[in-house]
């Protein structure tokens, strides 16, 4: 079957499986707890809130259940919750559904699903396989999901074979693994991830709906107008398109990913495609804070379920994104200090109690995370947020000083219309009104905390994921402020001042350019992307070879491809067997850097140098490799006397061969 059709069917199946495994269990949790006024919501709001609760609570609960009893038990538990919700939902929503509104909602959902599929599936022309640029991260998502399905939790390291388990925030991938397992042959790690990306987008709308209601900032605005404003600004990115044009003038090249020219503040559609696990972390963190804020405001009767729900959400936040969790902890600490100053001991006690619940639930995950990462002690460093246009203009203390002075400009450029919307909000809305509710005050606390962390701290593991992802919390706040500002005043039309309109158009341009670059990156001739999908014919042949290996070779057999390029992807996208070492970024899941370098030194020469069969076999056996997958791009392929052509291959096609290590000393074919 054509790979594009297979992927599209897989994405659709994974999305549909999200209904019984995420959406309906979230509905049951909302009905049981009554959290966030769930029982009083209209049908559309209730479904959005269900997605929020499913993504904000289930990752922690399911991860504990998978670790204790396995994936099948977790699937059955979610399914049972979903079945209970189905009966309740039919009874509660019967006769209350607005059919025209439901039709519009389904149309928007179909559009969003199409965007997800566009950004994440392969395009198979029959002669070549054209991968989206998102495979840069998708290889991690797919391989970690596969690892959980095969070996449970904590996951084994999919990038580096070692006895220690992987050290990573894996809660989002637990949901992906449930979908992958339940989907059988229709769904794999890639398409399960795509399905969860779809539902994370729905959950984001649920969070925005509940925050707008809790803050009271749009209390007197027609709901349809609020929805219009939300959908108007949500797709907009920052002003990175200006940096793209500047870079084009200077270098003559179009860079496919605009956010690579500065420290990232990804627009919402791109974040949902590239890193939905971090977005889900922001949803969970906000869910915990908002639950407690509702109780502090007195809008909901505080019960034990309030603390329990908030604690579960905070635990989920930790396992969904440790970087977003740091911002949530900083905001919670600031809020706790303010509550203590105000002598609101009951509210402070609930916050502390929720933190204790979170710590207990997240303890197994956190202990494994720290134990499995060699660089845990130096994971975070102090540094002023870098600013793309400045880099190279100075160095040392002078550069740090310039970064500090221009940090507000840096953030304004990165946030774009949301920065302008926030400024407009604070110009027209008095602080007393903005902070009239506890949720409204939390918007300011969370935004300030996350911007300070993102401005002065960075993660020291491969990339600055801390600085890139913690600002998601502030992005939620600035989005709420922007919607509130645009809907102020009388009349049915939105308030769109000239500057806002210009920034909105530039934000759209940034987002659209980035999505175009996901497919058009090969035409840009940018050297940073030359290694990616350079031979579509070989990638198509590799996908077929890995599919054969998954069906015919033992699942625990270490199947090694060439790790020599800066990055390789096919092993994680399509493979079912483990790999000895993935590539130069194989320490992503916590493997020691020295061990990765040593194994690369053992493995790379097999695919690069003129070694005889005995030498290759010795190196392979020393690293636990059971079979080698070789392509027409590897140097030994073009030598008719090399080990590639000795012995009978397990699998052979015009561009790919799989050979058993124990057969490498055989006679020429």
Contact indicator for 306, 320 with CB cutoff of 8 Å: no
Distances (CA, A) of 107 to 41, 192, 340: 22, 22, 48
pLDDT in tens, 464-499: 999 999 999 999 999 999 999 999 865 556 667 888
pLDDT surpasses 60 at 430 = yes
Distances (CA, A) of 642 to 266, 308, 334, 607, 623: 47, 63, 65, 11, 21
Distances (CA, A) of 328 to 110, 322, 335: 32, 10, 10
**Token duo for residue 46:** 């209730």
Burial state string for 470-485 with b = 16 or more CB within 10 A and e = fewer than 16: bbbbbbbbbbbbbbbb
Instruction: Count CA atoms closer than 13 A to 25's CA, side-chain side.
Output: 22
pLDDT in tens, 294-325: 988 776 556 789 999 999 999 999 999 999 99
- For the chain, helix, strand, coil in percent to 5 are 70, 5, 25
Give the single-character DSSP code of 581: B
Evaluate the omega torsion of the peptide bond into residue 154 and state whether it is cis, within 30 degrees of 0. yes
pLDDT surpasses 80 at 377 = no
HEC secondary structure over 597-637: HHHHHHHHHHHHCCCCHHHHHHHHHHCCCCEEEEECCCHHH
What's the mean pLDDT in 575-600? Answer: 92
What's the mean pLDDT in 618-642? Answer: 94
Give the single-character DSSP code of 528: G
The answer to pTM > 0.85 is: yes
HEC secondary structure over 162-195: CCCECCCCCHHHHHHHHHHHHHHHHCCHHHHHHH
Domain boundaries, the chain: 3-123+166-199, 223-517, 536-663
**C-alpha–C-alpha distance, residues 432 and 422, integer Å:** 16
Average pLDDT, the chain: 92
**C-alpha–C-alpha distance, residues 388 and 434, integer Å:** 33
Give the per-residue pLDDT at 299: 61
Give the per-residue pLDDT at 301: 58
**C-alpha–C-alpha distance, residues 437 and 353, integer Å:** 22
Give the per-residue pLDDT at 272: 98
Q: What confidence tier does 236 reach under pLDDT thresholds 50, 70, 90?
A: very high
Give the single-character DSSP code of 22: I
Q: What confidence tier does 96 reach under pLDDT thresholds 50, 70, 90?
A: low
């Amino acid at each position: 079957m054509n790979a594009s059709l297979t992927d599209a069917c897989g994405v659709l199946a994974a999305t549909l499986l999200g209904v019984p495994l995420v959406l309906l269990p979230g509905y049951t949790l909302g009905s049981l707890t009554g959290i966030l006024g769930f029982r009083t919501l209209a049908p559309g709001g209730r479904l959005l809130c269900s997605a929020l609760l499913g993504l904000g609570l289930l990752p922690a609960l399911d991860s504990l259940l998978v670790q204790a009893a396995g994936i099948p038990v977790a699937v059955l538990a979610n399914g049972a919750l979903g079945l209970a919700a189905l009966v309740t939902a039919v009874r509660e929503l019967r006769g209350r559904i607005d059919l025209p509104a439901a039709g519009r909602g389904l149309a928007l959902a179909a559009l969003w699903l199409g965007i997800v599929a566009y950004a994440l599936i392969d395009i198979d022309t029959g002669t070549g396989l054209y991968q989206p640029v998102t495979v840069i991260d998708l290889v991690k998502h797919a391989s970690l999901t596969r690892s959980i399905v095969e070996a449970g939790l904590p996951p084994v390291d999919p990038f580096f074979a070692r006895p220690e388990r992987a050290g990573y925030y894996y809660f989002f991938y637990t949901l992906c693994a449930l979908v992958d397992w339940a989907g059988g042959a229709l769904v794999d790690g890639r398409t399960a991830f795509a399905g969860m990306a779809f539902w994370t987008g729905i959950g984001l709308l649920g969070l925005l709906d509940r925050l707008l209601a809790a803050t009271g900032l749009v209390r007197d605005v027609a709901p349809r107008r609020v929805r219009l404003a939300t959908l108007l600004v949500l797709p907009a990115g920052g002003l990175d398109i200006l940096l793209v044009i500047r870079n084009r003038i200077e270098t003559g090249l179009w860079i496919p990913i605009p956010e690579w020219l500065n420290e990232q503040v990804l627009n919402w559609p791109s974040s949902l495609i590239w890193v939905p696990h971090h977005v889900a972390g922001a949803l969970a963190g906000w869910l915990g804070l908002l639950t407690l804020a509702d109780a502090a405001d007195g809008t909901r009767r505080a019960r034990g379920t309030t603390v329990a729900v908030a604690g579960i959400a905070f635990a989920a936040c930790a396992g969904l994104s440790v970087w977003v969790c740091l911002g949530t902890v900083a905001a919670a600490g600031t809020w706790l200090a303010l509550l203590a100053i105000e002598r609101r001991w009951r509210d402070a006690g609930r916050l502390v109690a929720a933190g204790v619940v979170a710590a207990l639930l997240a303890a197994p995950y956190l202990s494994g995370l720290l134990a499995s990462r060699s660089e845990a002690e130096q994971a975070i460093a102090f540094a002023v947020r870098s600013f793309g246009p400045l880099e190279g203009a100075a160095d040392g203390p002078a550069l740090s000083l310039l970064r500090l002075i221009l940090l507000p400009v840096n953030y304004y450029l990165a946030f774009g219309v949301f920065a302008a919307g926030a400024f407009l909000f604070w110009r027209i809305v008095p602080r007393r009104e903005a902070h009239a509710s506890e949720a409204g005050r939390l918007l300011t606390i969370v935004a300030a905390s996350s911007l300070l962390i993102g401005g002065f701290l960075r993660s020291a593991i491969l990339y600055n994921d801390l600085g890139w992802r913690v600002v998601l919390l502030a992005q939620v706040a600035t989005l709420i402020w922007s919607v509130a500002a645009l809907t102020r005043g009388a009349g049915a039309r939105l308030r769109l001042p000239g500057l806002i309109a210009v920034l909105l158009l530039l934000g759209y341009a940034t987002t659209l350019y980035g999505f175009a670059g996901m497919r058009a990156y090969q035409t840009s001739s940018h050297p940073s992307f030359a290694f990616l999908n350079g031979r579509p014919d070989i990638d198509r042949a590799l996908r077929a070879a890995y599919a054969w290996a998954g069906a015919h070779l033992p699942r625990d057999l270490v199947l090694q491809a060439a790790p020599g390029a800066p990055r390789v992807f096919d092993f994680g996208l399509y493979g079912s067997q483990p790999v000895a070492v993935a590539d130069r970024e194989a320490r992503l899941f916590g493997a020691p850097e020295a061990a990765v370098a040593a194994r690369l030194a053992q493995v790379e020469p097999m695919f690069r140098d003129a070694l005889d069969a005995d030498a290759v076999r010795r190196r392979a056996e020393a690293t636990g490799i059971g079979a080698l997958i070789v392509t027409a791009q590897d140097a030994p392929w073009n030598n008719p006397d090399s080990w590639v052509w000795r012995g009978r291959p397990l699998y052979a096609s015009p561009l790919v061969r799989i050979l058993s290590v124990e057969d490498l000393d055989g006679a020429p074919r």
